[in-house]
Amino acid sequence: MSEKKHRVSRRQFLNYTLTGVGGFMAAGMLMPMVRFALDPVLRPAEETELVQVVKVDEITEEPQRFDFKIKQVDAWYESEETRSAWVFKEGDKITALSPVCKHLGCTVGWNNDPANPNQFFCPCHYGRYEKNGTNVPGTPPIAPLDIYKQAVKDGYLFLGAAKPRGEA
């Protein structure tokens, strides 16, 4: 009696075999599709290369906004993205700050709030930053403005990716 319980009928054997073979074939067809979909996630992130922005002679002690374009690869789509930077000198030191407010991502402007001169101001929620990019206590921003990776070559300022203050 126990022999009959454990016996596999011909119908069950064919059912198991065809299910296994079908599953194996489906996995063989689905794996390339899954790999294709996950490939951008599995690729290591590329570091943004430095882009020429402005002649060093044109940089002043007053922050100026400069726009520049970077090449961006998003999965399989390559495009050019326009970025901006607030650039100024303090002696020989050049500072390039991101214009993106750390509160909600609005764009900050320099000296555009009459009540608070010589500060970066975010009009969305009245966020304020000092000239060096540090956030003014008691205002909405929770962190200082990001700072761009930079290099000076042949009299030109080159900028890379914007990083938080601790990472730059």
pLDDT digits (tens, 9 = 90+) for 60-114: 888 889 888 888 777 667 888 888 898 999 888 888 988 888 888 888 888 888 8
**pTM (predicted TM-score):** 0.68
Q: What's residue 24's pLDDT?
A: 92
Phi-psi region of 43 (alpha: psi -120 to 50; beta: other; left: phi over 0): beta
Q: How confident is the model at residue 168 (pLDDT cuts 50, 70, 90)?
A: very low
Q: Tell me: the pLDDT tens digits for 105-141?
A: 888 888 888 888 888 888 888 888 888 888 888 888 8
